[in-house]
Structure 1
Amino acid sequence: MDDYKRDKVMVFNDTGEEIRVALLENNILSEIFFEDIEADKNSGKIFIGRIENEVTGLEAFFVNIGMKKNGFLRFKDLVGLPNEYKRGDNVIVQVRKDGNSRKGPQLSMQINIPGNYTVYMPYGEGSIGISRKITEQSERDRIREIAEDIMYETEGLIFRTNCQGIDRETINEEVLKLRRIMHKILLDYKDSNKPGLLYSEEDFVDYVLRERLDSAVSRIVMDSKELYLKIRRKIDKIDFSPVLELKTKDSFNYYDIYLQINDIFARKIDLKSGGTITIDKTEAMTVIDIDSAGNIKGENIEETSFSTNMEAAREIMRQLRLRNIAGIIIVDFIDMYNEKHKQAIIELISYELRKDKARVTIVGFTELGLLELTRKRTSPSIDSLIYTPCPVCHGTGRVSAPSVVYNRMIQEVEDSLKELSEHDIKQVLVSIHHNLSGYVTPEIKAKLEEKTGTKIKFEFNWTDPNTYNIRYKK
């Protein structure tokens, strides 16, 4: 796997109204960030919360943080014991997972404040975490020694991949900075009594650089001189030096990123081999299906299936990052009967996971040959932030068959005229969708008028194909 070389480029685009950032691997879009969308996310933000009520059965408090929906604070995410808190108490909480249309955000009192090299946990009680991507035992031992030297007993630290090779003084300076941030949060908390925001991350550019800039990035491209100067100041402080390029025109257009953005919203994705991937999201999980389609490479069916599945596996892991898909993920690969081929798929996915900042767990193949994955959710997927459910089909992607709506409408007209027989109804006006134009013929209209003894007028001006509107005139 390691012979697969990655040319990683970070592209900043300043529209004047917002900044957008794309990450490219070998000129292929792997992640994208929009300033407006990121600003709407609450994951990582710290709030003053007020406990509204306790739900013992769920072992949680519902907490008002000044948003439309109360947050959900589980007992296991408290600092201290549940009996130390009561309704009306103010607490400092951090959003761990954004809410959605059905429920509020998931909260925690176990605060995490991220830096470039570490994540500071003021209530960590001596816990030390080291990125799994730091594999050399000597380096892990060095980092642990630094942690034990600079930490207080009540604190905790997580050492990020970027801290590899960073000296003790630099790490200590960052921890001191993060301590000062927490001290400021505590002071602001004491000065306020109203639920609301206490602390948010630094600005958008700083956030993206902190979370995505690493030694694998060879170039940073931007189309704004202001951005160029800001990023140059930032990278002067790091121990690797990506090349900076300032474009005079739209940097996204230069790298054909606009065309690739369409992939984020496509249900079906074509593979170079001729195969396809189909992605369907449900409330409970995301289901991904692979089809060999036009791929005829390989000496036999097994080899063709395996080659298509290998290509699809790499593309699927890119799509998970690109779309920010999380939760339970089921992949229906083309049937493979060779266990070595299945193991090769898992090895490829494990390799691709190195590129993903989110925690992904490979559960394995089920008895039916489906691969089960989970990807940690902290914020909504990008399509759910850009799109809202269709008001007609309510997100199902389907509408009622015209024949079903027609029969229901005719029955309702007949039944309602029977009920209103004593009210001397002269005319019925029925507004319907144009889908029913082939059903409501002059002959049908004449038969219905004869049967009900009432003049009926159909108007094809209703916008919802699932419903209709009936009015009565005396």
Structure 2
Amino acid sequence: MKRIVINIDKFQSRAAIIENGKVMEILIERAEEGRINGSIYKGKVANVLPGMESAFVNIGLEKNAFLYVNDLREFEEKYLDGIYNSSRPIEDILNVGDEVVVQVLNEPRGTKGARVTTHYTLPGKYLVLMPNNDHIAISKKIKDEEERNRLEEIFKDITPEDMGVIIRTAAQGKTFFHFEREMEYLVKKWEDIEKKTSDAKVGEVLYKDNGVVTTVLRDIFTNDVDELIVDDLEAYWEILDYINAFSETTLKTKIKLYKAENGENIFDIYNINQEIDSALKEEVPLECGGYLVIEKTEALVSIDVNTGKNTGSYNLEKTVVNTNIEAAKEIPRQLRLRNLGGIIIIDFIDMRLEEDKKKVLDTLEENLSKDRIKNNIVHFTDLGLIEMTRKRTGKPLYHYFQEKCPICNGTGKVKSKEAVIHDLLKEIKSCCQDRDISAIKVILSKKLKIAFQETYYDFALEYAKNKKKKILLEDNNQNDYSFTIILMK
């Protein structure tokens, strides 16, 4: 059974996709930040970097956006001087101060600004309009050759000249009527964007991609979904209006309004909040007793598979293969649930037989195929690691629930007790050189105070006494190894 659960309040909109009782995806949009993937901005070139074949563009965000030269070609061809398939270097196309209209491909992350393009796309339920591209592409998931030809013929008739489309998987089996109505809607939307462009100021949003609810209706809510449950009356009627305009009316029977009893949150009723808490942990238990360790770095995501408590009932090789197969089923779910993208390295438990490796790889591919986000297994490396990629879309789940620890500053480690005590001794020695003070008050945690008094306190007292200073210790009621020094005259 496939179910979509939508929770809306005045601060955020959230949606969860549940398949066979398991939460597979979480979509979140918070009122104070919003999603910018797919949004179109009026920008100004802030810097051109010939050596990197790219430019930085000010689009009104905290960090300038990154525009690669290949993401600029079609803009040059259509809007600048009309050179077809130009291979001119970026410094001959853009100058600092030039205004350019760009669409966000990847949202800002870490120290990097957004990546932008001039290959504009406006997504609908059945098609994606490409306003400055005259190509017609069809989803690879539509396998039937006769259906592909039928769709191509329809879109040749309804697609405006000098525009192109990507025909989405949802278009399979649909009629001319569905496509014509959506094509008119998207073309009108693009015309509105072009009208705004000339008068828009730098940093102005010309087009904003849809919020969580519309994204769910457009990209996820199809006939294979058994029910959609929403807990907000206004959103409920908006959903019905959208279905009436763009989808089969039979989908309306699957939409249900949830009315909370005793103030219960719909995400608690379906155990979604519990799944979110689990998805924020590095360790993921497997039913067989093994576990995964998922770690995110700036460059990549690493996933380590371990047998854990799974000692097996047969031989070691069988235990290893069974653990790896279960991991191969769970890893795609965790990637979707946590919305992790980029380069992903998976360290399965070592297997000797090629046929066992193939079993695990086939299982991984089968489960990755259920992901609506584009992914690709590159290969088994020489070290036995699986290297794969998953397209980055939106923000990862941890972005909404976690921030850097103020104590360790994101390293996951803090200074050891001994290292902190050595820092304290160094500070005391330095303060003792000050002739204008008579005492040094050290305010420190109870744990640090006990460790300091056990070994180092007598030495510090003797040192201070020789400098004609006193040392006073005072608790700060903190449960860490922190200290503060106050100089007293």
TM-score (norm 2): 0.89
Give 2:18's match in structure 1, choosing from 24, 37, 51. 24
Matched, 1:353 2:368: yes
Report the 3-state secondary structure (helix = DSSP H, G, I; strand = E; otherwise coil) of the residue aligned with 1:245: strand
Question: Which is further off, 92-101 or 376-385?
Answer: 376-385
Question: Which is further off, 459-468 or 80-89?
Answer: 459-468
Over the matched positions of the two proteins, sequence identity in percent amounts to: 34
Question: Which is further off, 353-362 or 196-205?
Answer: 196-205
| 1:97-147 deviations in Å (ceiling 9; x for gaps) | 0112312111111111111111111111x2222111111111112222223
| 1:45-74 deviations in Å (ceiling 9; x for gaps) | 111101112111111111111111111111
| Structure 1 residue 358 displacement after superposition | 1.5
Equivalent positions of 1:34-433 (< 5 A) are: 34-36=28-30, 40-78=34-72, 79-80=75-76, 82=90, 83-124=92-133, 126-236=134-244, 237-239=246-248, 241=251, 243-249=254-260, 250-418=265-433, 420=434, 423-433=435-445
Equivalent pair of 2:48/2:94 in contact (CA under 8 Å): no
| Structure 1 residue 182 displacement after superposition | 1.0
Question: Which is further off, 108-117 or 431-440?
Answer: 431-440
| Structure 1 residue 255 displacement after superposition | 2.1
Matched, 1:459 2:474: yes
Gaps of 5+ in 1: 1-6
- Name the aligned partner's letter for residue 235 of structure 1: I
- Name the aligned partner's letter for residue 457 of structure 2: K
Question: Which is further off, 438-447 or 78-87?
Answer: 438-447
| Structure 1 residue 220 displacement after superposition | 1.3
Report the 3-state secondary structure (helix = DSSP H, G, I; strand = E; otherwise coil) of the residue aligned with 1:449: helix
- Name the aligned partner's letter for residue 139 of structure 1: E
Equivalent pair of 2:311/2:319 in contact (CA under 8 Å): yes
- Name the aligned partner's letter for residue 427 of structure 1: A
| 1:149-173 deviations in Å (ceiling 9; x for gaps) | 3334532211111111122232132
Equivalent pair of 1:47/1:195 in contact (CA under 8 Å): yes
- Name the aligned partner's letter for residue 344 of structure 2: I
Equivalent pair of 2:444/2:481 in contact (CA under 8 Å): no
Q: Distance in 1 between matches of 2:210 and 2:93?
A: 33
Gaps of 5+ in 2: 77-87
- Name the aligned partner's letter for residue 47 of structure 1: Y
Question: Which is further off, 141-150 or 363-372?
Answer: 141-150
Query: What is the aligned-residue RMSD (CA, Å)?
Result: 2.3
Question: Which is further off, 201-210 or 463-472?
Answer: 463-472
| Structure 1 residue 464 displacement after superposition | 9.6
Q: Distance in 2 between matches of 1:214 and 1:352?
A: 19
| Structure 1 residue 308 displacement after superposition | 1.4
Equivalent pair of 2:45/2:98 in contact (CA under 8 Å): yes
Equivalent pair of 1:358/1:376 in contact (CA under 8 Å): yes
Question: Which is further off, 374-383 or 110-119?
Answer: 374-383
- Name the aligned partner's letter for residue 316 of structure 2: I
Equivalent pair of 2:428/2:460 in contact (CA under 8 Å): no
Equivalent pair of 1:400/1:465 in contact (CA under 8 Å): no
- Name the aligned partner's letter for residue 158 of structure 1: I
Q: Distance in 2 between matches of 1:380 and 1:408?
A: 39
TM-score (norm 1): 0.91
Q: Distance in 2 between matches of 1:142 and 1:382?
A: 40
Q: Distance in 2 between matches of 1:410 and 1:462?
A: 21
Equivalent pair of 1:360/1:376 in contact (CA under 8 Å): yes
Give 1:439's match in structure 2, choosing from 451, 467, 482. 451
Q: Distance in 1 between matches of 2:279 and 2:414?
A: 24
Q: Distance in 1 between matches of 2:400 and 2:52?
A: 28
May I ask how many residue pairs the two structures share in their alignment? 464
Report the 3-state secondary structure (helix = DSSP H, G, I; strand = E; otherwise coil) of the residue aligned with 2:30: helix
